Amino acid sequence: MSTETSANVQFSPLLEQYFEAVNKRDLDAILSKLSFPLRLINGPSERVLDYDAVKADYQSHWDDVNFTTVTIKELEDLPAPEKGARVVLHDVGRKMIMTVNYEYELAEDGEWKHVCHRVIALETVA
């Protein structure tokens, strides 16, 4: 997947792989990039999901008849000391622009794992 911005972000390869897996509906590839429990924050609402809940959450996205693809519009590193990136996404089928912080931690195996998905803004587009 290519981005529509030329920014060189530390986490861009991880996020590009993640969204490629989302668009292919490759649950195993997605789960390999996450750490559990996974925090999902949307405004004042916070959910903490275990492995099985995350699987069900992705399946519910894909079951939405309007879900098609998600493209990365912009990527930028989060300011230190945060580890991750702020991503502006276009959910093509559901006609939404989303700004989301993807936060990472270095796992014991030396791999960066996605630990928190923080929705900053949602906008409906035509």
Can you spell out the DSSP letters for 45-62? EEEEE-HHHHHHHHHHHH
| Distance between CA atoms of residues 10 and 8, nearest Å | 7
- In this prediction, residues 79-104 reach a mean pLDDT of 95
**pLDDT at position 77:** 87
Round to whole Å and give the CA distance between 109 and 80: 23
CATH architecture of 12-124: Roll (3.10)
pLDDT digits (tens, 9 = 90+) for 46-86: 999 999 999 999 999 999 999 999 999 999 989 888 999 99
Could you check whether the bond before residue 44 is cis, i.e. omega within 30 degrees of 0?
A: no
- pLDDT of the residue at 124: 97
Cα–Cα distances (Å) from 89 to 69, 74, 86, 123, in that order, read 10, 7, 10, 10
Residues 6+ apart with CB under 8 A from 42: 118, 119
**Bridge partners, 89 (sequence order):** 72, 98
Domain map of the chain by residue range? 12-124
Report which of 83, 78, 121 is spatially closest to residue 100, judged by C-alpha positions: 121
pLDDT of 36 reads 97
Task: Give the pLDDT score at 9.
Answer: 54
Residue 1's pLDDT is 43
Q: Please tell me the pTM assigned to this model.
A: 0.87
pLDDT, tens only, 8-41: 458 888 999 999 999 999 999 999 999 999 999 9
Q: State which amino acid sits at residue 38.
A: L
